[in-house]
């Protein structure tokens, strides 16, 4: 996929702790209860504090492929956009479509809230077992398609835990 320079300039890859990102919003790779868990989800809940759990209890959960927004509480980020990625089985159970929907829904909520800078983790690649190289391609393709028609968010950061994901994102961005 060829990525226009004006679109590519709106995306960056960083190896960092997403809970420390100084952006308008971060994305939480959550479970459907939105009540915390392991990995990125647990780290975000711990860093944001108990007010996040209290707000999440009012949301009634979130289906796979959709997203919900909360305040950032104890984080530098003003907002947290929670999305529930698919479990990867064989790749023949709509996993790609559901993962792309996660990114689109997060971007939609971000744009509606006037978010200028948004940091994504590598959704579904932890305990949900989505192959990282494919997940990174889906992320880049979906974000590029969104950015081509939308001014917000102005800056999207793919925040990676570990250099393996950094390499996959950078490879996908070569376009």
CB neighbourhood size of 150 (10 A) = 13
Count of structural domains, the chain: 1
DSSP single-letter state for residue 87 = P
**Nearest-5° angle of CA 41, CA 161, CA 64?**
40
Contact by Cβ (8 Å): 73, 100: no
Distance separating alpha carbons of residues 106 and 80, to the nearest angstrom: 10
CATH number for position 164: 3.40.220.10
**What pLDDT sits at residue 175?**
62
Structural domain boundaries enclosing 47: 5-174
Over residues 76-94, the pLDDT tens digits come to 999 999 999 999 999 889 9
Over residues 15-59, the pLDDT tens digits come to 999 999 999 999 999 999 999 998 999 999 999 999 999 999 999
Catalytic residue among 17, 24, 41, 163: 41
DSSP single-letter state for residue 21 = -
**How would residue 163 be classed by pLDDT, with cut points 50, 70 and 90?**
confident
**Residue 171 is among the residues annotated as catalytic for this protein:** no
Contact by Cβ (8 Å): 30, 37: yes
Over residues 92-149, the pLDDT tens digits come to 899 999 999 999 999 999 999 999 999 999 999 989 999 999 999 999 999 999 999 9
Phi, psi of 118 (to 5 degrees): -135, 130
Question: How much is the pTM?
Answer: 0.96
Contact by Cβ (8 Å): 128, 144: no
**What pLDDT sits at residue 91?**
86
**What pLDDT sits at residue 96?**
98
CB neighbourhood size of 162 (10 A) = 11
**What pLDDT sits at residue 15?**
95
Contact by Cβ (8 Å): 40, 88: no
Check whether 162 has a pLDDT greater than 90. no
* Cα torsion angle, 95, 172, 17, 155, sign: negative
């Amino acid at each position: 996929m060829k990525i226009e320079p004006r679109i590519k300039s709106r995306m960056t890859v960083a190896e960092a702790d997403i809970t420390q990102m100084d952006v308008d919003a971060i994305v939480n790779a959550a479970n459907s209860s939105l009540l915390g868990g392991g990995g990125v989800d647990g780290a975000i809940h711990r860093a944001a504090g108990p007010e996040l759990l209290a707000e999440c209890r009012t949301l009634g959960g979130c289906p796979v492929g959709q997203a919900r927004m909360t305040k950032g509480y104890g984080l530098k980020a003003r907002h947290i956009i929670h999305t529930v990625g698919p479990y990867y089985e064989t790749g023949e159970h709509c996993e790609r479509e559901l993962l792309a929907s996660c990114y689109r829904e997060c971007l939609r909520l971000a744009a509606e809230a006037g978010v200028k800078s948004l940091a994504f983790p590598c959704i579904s690649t932890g305990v949900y077992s989505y192959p990282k190289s494919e997940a990174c391609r889906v992320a880049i393709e979906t974000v590029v398609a969104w950015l081509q028609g939308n001014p917000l968010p102005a800056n999207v950061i793919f925040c990676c835990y570990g250099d393996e994901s950094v390499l996959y994102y950078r490879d996908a961005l070569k376009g």
